[in-house]
Amino acid sequence: MKKFIHIDMDCFYAAVEMRDNPMLADKPIAIGGHSRRGVISTANYIARQYGVRSAMSNYQAKKLCPELIMVPGRMQVYKEVSKEIRRIFYQYTELVEPLSLDEAYLDVTGTELHSGSATLMAQAIREQIYQTTGLTASAGIAPIKFIAKIASDLNKPNGQYVVKPEQVAHFLAQLDLGKIPGVGKVTLNKLHVMGLYRGQDVLDRDEGWLVSRFGQFGSVLYRKCAGLSEGQVQVDRLRKSLSVEHTYERDLLSLEVCQDHLTKLLAELKMRLERQDLVSRISKLTVKVKFSDFVSTTADQVGAELNIEVFKSLLAKAYARGGNKSVRLLGLGVGISEVGASPQLRLDC
């Protein structure tokens, strides 16, 4: 039986700023630029009580919380703190899979520290993080990888949640499907239309029934809800691309309308790249368009900078392939080079 721990720092960027400037500790703060059209990277828990969330525009956040203090991000500082935290992880296991600067999976199955108790290890790791950095972390502990990630969010902030092997079946049966990694808003709406809301609803259906409606994803979903997807920590995980996309409730009817949505998508993409320390490894820029008839197309070019004008140009190329069809989904992405690699010469789009 595997033993997974998922560690997730509590409002990481904001927590670093409150640590370094105690005057901010009891005030609502958010990390981001001061531009009205800027987008928030994260917010502390005081600001979240007002409804302020990551990826929200500064303008909207200020409307919800007029006293919100906008703090410029200090990415280099966050990276250094993240390195300190990861050094702690490696004291417990070599099987560490960082997901971003502020979260990681640990496989402690073979670790003998704390009598082999993953629960005690998670507690010790959190205490050591606090002693070393002055920051709090939350943890999820489970015999299945994705359950550990879900569990780390259940006792936030500064807490942990354990799902024991004998509790897995009940936990999954009662689990809201929207909490399962890979189940996005659009997919969740489709599941709801079919009367599927929790894990038990999925188990009440035949796996073949799910596959006939969702393809391979149906099988993946069934196996997760049945507790058959144990998962493994990917130590040598090398991301080759990263993208963000959005499916719109109402189709976008023109190129100009599509271009108006690029700013928000680009801000979200940049935020994710910064969180995973990948900005310096961008090698290609890509735009994805899915038309109203579900036909998709992409346009890309080699490039190392997140330039809105380049993305607009790529969008125009991709949009033209659809004739006058409306657009239901837009996506922006980047190719990720290996460390030290250089972008190739420009390719035809």
Distance CA 40, CA 64 (A): 13
Distance CA 266, CA 273 (A): 10
CATH 3.30.70.270 residue ranges for the chain: 1-163
- The per-residue pLDDT for range 61-75, each reduced to its tens digit, is 999 999 999 999 898
Provide the β-strand partners of residue 118: none
Question: Which residues, in sequence order, are CB contacts of 51 under 8 Å at separation 6+?
Answer: 64, 65
Distance CA 48, CA 61 (A): 10
- The per-residue pLDDT for range 16-31, each reduced to its tens digit, is 999 999 999 999 999 9
pLDDT value at 301 more than 70:
yes
How does residue 288 score in pLDDT terms, banded at 50, 70 and 90?
very high
pTM beyond 0.85: the answer is: no
DSSP class per residue in 108-150: -TT--GGGG-HHHHHHHHHHHHHHHHS--EEEEEESSHHHHHH
- pLDDT computed for residue 55 by the predictor: 81
Please choose, from the candidates 329, 336, 335, 179, the residue with its C-alpha nearest in 3D space to the C-alpha of residue 245.
Answer: 329
CATH top class, domain 241-336: alpha beta
Which residue is associated with the tokens 């963000």?
Answer: 244
Angle between helices 118-133 and 75-89 (to 10 degrees): 140
Distance CA 311, CA 129 (A): 40
- The per-residue pLDDT for range 323-335, each reduced to its tens digit, is 889 998 899 999 9
- Computed over every residue of the chain, the mean pLDDT equals 89
CATH node for 1-163: 3.30.70.270
- Structural contact between residues 311 and 286, judged by C-beta atoms closer than 8 angstroms: no
169-225 adopts what CATH topology?
DNA polymerase; domain 1 (1.10.150)
- The per-residue pLDDT for range 218-269, each reduced to its tens digit, is 999 999 999 998 999 988 655 678 888 888 888 999 999 999 999 989 988 8
| Mean pLDDT on 143-160 | 96
Question: Which residues, in sequence order, are CB contacts of 10 under 8 Å at separation 6+?
Answer: 45, 135, 136, 137, 138, 156, 157, 158
| Residues identified as active-site | 103
Cα distance from N-terminal residue to C-terminal residue, the chain: 48
CATH 3.30.1490.100 residue ranges for the chain: 241-336
Q: What residues are designated binding site for Mg(2+)?
A: 8, 102
Distance CA 300, CA 12 (A): 33
Q: What residues are designated binding site?
A: 8, 102
